[in-house]
């Protein structure tokens, strides 16, 4: 018998810069190489709040799928399209949801908006055949949405670089401790908290590089305003999204990787940073403790500016502390998990789902 094939619905261009889209690209590639990808449905980059025209286009694309098709839907599109998907359930589509983290857990949402997203996600997940998540934390969180553990497969991401790249690190001789933060400029990533904390230790020698796309332009403008009003704009570099080789250079030049996130469904950038031998300063939000062991990182509560400033001061002043965290980072299991392993686990999960 031929193995079952899967259609994949992607809520934006495949080259979109984010950890979620990186994961999706890797899994789409794995499906294609295994000859299990029936088609790729790519929608415009406007989720989770698509306009009516995009919803109508998605409806037409889904209606054109053959009866009995298996469809993988990225969670960014699942809730906004759940009514269109539900209309085609009834044996016509078998839906597998790919959830990086619930949309209603995204930062910067007003309470009514969060409640609406939660309810639409709950109803959408109820209609899926199975759910794949990127962390055990997200699997547990989905119990609040009524998804039982038996319907969930956990397939964590991998990393691009192998352990040991920390030995290739480059340093500049200006005496500054270089802090790197990688993530889309959105409230959930907490770059505003990081800049405010660094302003409290402006007397110490540091430079901050923020790498990531402007997914929320209003927040990005506010962040630049913060750095100017706090008097640290000359020391905060907004690098935008970087190509792989430039990002690799950034990891090699850094001393500390800081992510003051308010929520993470996994944290691929944290795993990459550990593989490059960086001391980690982060929060215990979401799945981060799954990725970063205590031997690799210092944890501060999300949104806590003063404690984050104190932790930054310790790491900036103490190279021995950074060295110990670096050794712990290189030994972390998340820093050793390759994309090849993640892709094989994803294919195996789908095989089990289709055979059930």
pLDDT in the model for residue 161: 66
Contact partners, residue 99, CB within 8 Å, separation at least 6: 75, 78, 125, 131, 132, 133, 134, 138, 142, 265
Phi, psi for residue 307 in degrees, rounded to 5: -60, -35
Residues of the chain whose pLDDT is less than 50? 1, 163-167
pLDDT in the model for residue 106: 82
Topology alike, domains 6-158+338-355 and 165-335: yes
Looking at the chain, the whole-number percentage of residues with pLDDT higher than 90 is: 79
Sketch the domain layout of the chain as residue ranges: 6-158+338-355, 165-335
Provide the H-helix boundaries in 212-264: 217-229, 244-253
pLDDT in the model for residue 169: 53
Torsion of CA 289, 291, 297, 301, to 10 degrees: -40
pLDDT in the model for residue 330: 95
pLDDT in the model for residue 92: 76
Nearest C-alpha neighbor of 155 from the set 104, 99, 210:
99
- pLDDT tens digits, residue range 291-348? 999 999 999 999 999 999 999 999 999 999 999 999 999 999 999 999 999 999 999 9
* Total-model pTM: 0.92
For domain 165-335, the CATH superfamily is: Glycogen Phosphorylase B; (3.40.50.2000)
pLDDT in the model for residue 262: 95
- pLDDT tens digits, residue range 42-70? 999 988 889 999 999 999 999 899 988 99
Count Cα atoms within 13 angstroms, Cβ side, for 114: 8
pLDDT in the model for residue 273: 96
Domain spanning 6-158+338-355, CATH architecture = 3-Layer(aba) Sandwich (3.40)
């Amino acid at each position: 018998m031929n193995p079952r094939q899967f259609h994949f619905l992607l809520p934006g261009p495949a080259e979109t810069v984010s950890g979620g889209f990186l994961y999706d690209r890797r899994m789409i590639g794995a499906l294609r190489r295994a000859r299990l990808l029936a088609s790729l449905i790519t929608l415009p980059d406007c989720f989770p709040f698509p306009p009516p025209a995009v919803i109508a286009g998605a409806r037409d694309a889904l209606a054109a799928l053959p009866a009995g098709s298996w469809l993988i839907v990225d969670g960014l599109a699942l809730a906004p399209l759940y009514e269109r998907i539900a209309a085609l359930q009834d044996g016509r589509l078998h839906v597998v949801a790919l959830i990086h983290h619930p949309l209603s857990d995204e930062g910067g949402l007003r309470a009514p908006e969060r409640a609406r997203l939660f309810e639409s996600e709950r109803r959408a997940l109820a209609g899926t055949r199975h759910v794949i998540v990127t962390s055990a934390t997200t699997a547990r969180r989905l119990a609040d949405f009524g998804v039982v553990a038996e319907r969930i497969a956990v397939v964590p991401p991998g990393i691009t670089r192998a352990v040991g790249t920390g030995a290739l690190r480059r340093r500049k001789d200006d005496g500054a401790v270089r802090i790197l933060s990688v993530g889309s400029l959105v409230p959930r990533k907490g770059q505003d908290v990081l800049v405010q904390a660094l302003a409290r230790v402006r007397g110490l020698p540091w430079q901050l590089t923020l790498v990531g796309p402007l997914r929320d332009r209003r927040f990005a403008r506010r962040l630049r305003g913060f750095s100017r009003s706090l008097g640290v704009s000359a020391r905060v570099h907004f690098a935008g999204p970087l190509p792989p080789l430039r990002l690799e250079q950034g990891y090699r030049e850094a001393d500390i990787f800081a992510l003051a996130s308010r929520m993470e469904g996994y944290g691929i950038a944290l795993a990459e940073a550990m593989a490059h031998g960086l001391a980690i300063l982060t929060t215990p939000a979401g799945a981060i403790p799954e990725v970063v062991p205590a031997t690799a990182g210092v944890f501060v509560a999300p949104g806590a500016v003063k404690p984050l400033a104190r932790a930054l001061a310790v790491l900036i002043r103490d190279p021995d502390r950074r060295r110990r965290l670096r050794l712990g980072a290189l030994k972390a299991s998340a820093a050793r998990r390759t994309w090849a392993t993640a892709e094989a686990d994803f294919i195996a999960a789908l095989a089990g789902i289709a055979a059930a």
